[in-house]
């Protein structure tokens, strides 16, 4: 779990599009964005670039989908241990099928379109 992604120690080094990517690559499973407007906090306008950067990193392979799957499993395991949400042995076939895959495909398509519009491969 990260500290607030809007802290100056992060925002002075990386734009929101990259800060979340670096955090996940470094091992974070959960990124915190406090969404306050005080100095040193994650402002609401950071959320979309942070999200877009993560989606782009998965789409271009900088963050392997297996890394996301591993994070989801760890988060579900903690939730199950504390009696919150489904067990960590949830049916991944169901999660990776049907409507879920259509949503993922739609998100990846939006990322690809945005990359094309920005002139990125």
Q: pTM of the entire structure?
A: 0.65
Return the pLDDT at 80. Answer: 81
Query: At residue 21, does pLDDT exceed 60?
Result: yes
Return the pLDDT at 89. Answer: 62
Return the pLDDT at 106. Answer: 76
* Mean pLDDT over the full length of the chain: 81
The residue that leads in pLDDT, 3 or 118, is: 3
The string of DSSP letters for 22-77 reads HHHHTT-S--B-----STTS--GGGHHHHHHHHHHHHHTTSS-HHHHHHHHHHHHH
Query: At residue 61, does pLDDT exceed 80?
Result: yes
* DSSP state, residue 83: T
Residue range 34-60, pLDDT digits in tens: 766 666 567 778 888 999 999 999 999
- Rounded to an integer, what distance in angstroms lies between the CA atom of residue 98 and that of residue 108? 16
């Amino acid at each position: 779990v990260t500290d607030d992604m809007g802290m100056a120690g992060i925002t002075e080094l990386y734009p929101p599009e990259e800060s979340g990517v670096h955090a996940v690559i470094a091992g974070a499973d959960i990124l915190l964005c406090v969404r306050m407007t005080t100095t040193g906090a994650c402002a609401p306008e950071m959320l979309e670039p942070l999200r877009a950067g993560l989606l782009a990193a998965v789409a271009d392979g900088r963050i392997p989908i297996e890394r996301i799957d591993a994070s989801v499993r760890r988060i579900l395991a903690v939730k199950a241990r504390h009696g919150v949400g489904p067990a960590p042995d949830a049916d991944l076939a169901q999660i990776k099928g049907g409507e879920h895959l259509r949503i993922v495909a739609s998100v990846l398509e939006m990322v690809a379109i945005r990359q094309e519009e920005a002139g990125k491969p």
